Amino acid sequence: KQEVTQIPAALSVPEGENLVLNCSFTDSAIYNLQWFRQDPGKGLTSLLLIQSSQREQTSGRLNASLDKSSGRSTLYIAASQPGDSATYLCAVRVSGNQFYFGTGTSLTVIP
C-alpha cells in the first residue's frame, strides 16, 4: 500500500529565506504528484502538478521536483513571505484514480 510522508511536520523561517519542503512515497507506480496549500479551516488549493514523466514544474516563486525512482519530491519556495504561512500537503495519484496524501508541513514565515 502506498504511504506518503512529509518531513518536517512544522517549519518556521524568517521572511526572505528560501526553503525546501519534502515529500516521500513508498511505491513509484504513480501517475502524478500534486502539491497543495491549505490555510486554516479551508480547503486545499492546488499549487503544482507534476506528471510522472516530468522532473519539475515551476510557478512563480515555487518550484517542485520529482524523482520517481527514489520516491521523492521537493517543493522549493524562494524568498518566503508571511503570506506563505500555511500547511503544505503533497498527494500522489495511483491506479483507480486513487490519491494518497501526506500529513503536511506547517510553515510559518516570521516577518
Partner 1 sequence: EAGVAQSPRYKIIEKRQSVAFWCNPISGHATLYWYQQILGQGPKLLIQFQNNGVVDDSQLPKDRFSAERLKGVDSTLKIQPAKLEDSAVYLCASLDRRGTGELFFGEGSRLTVL
Residues 73, 49: Cα–Cα separation, whole Å: 11
Question: Which residue among 13, 49, 62, 94 contacts partner 1 (CB under 8 A)?
Answer: 49
Question: Which residue among 89, 105, 107, 109 contacts partner 1 (CB under 8 A)?
Answer: 89
Beta strand 10-14 with 44-51 is unpaired
76 sits near partner 1 (criterion: CB under 8 A) = no
Q: For the CB of residue 3, give the shortest distance to partner 1 in the complex, in Å.
A: 11
Q: Which of 71, 82, 98 is nearest to 6 (CA)?
A: 71
Residue type, 46: S
Question: Which residue among 64, 66, 91, 109 contacts partner 1 (CB under 8 A)?
Answer: 91
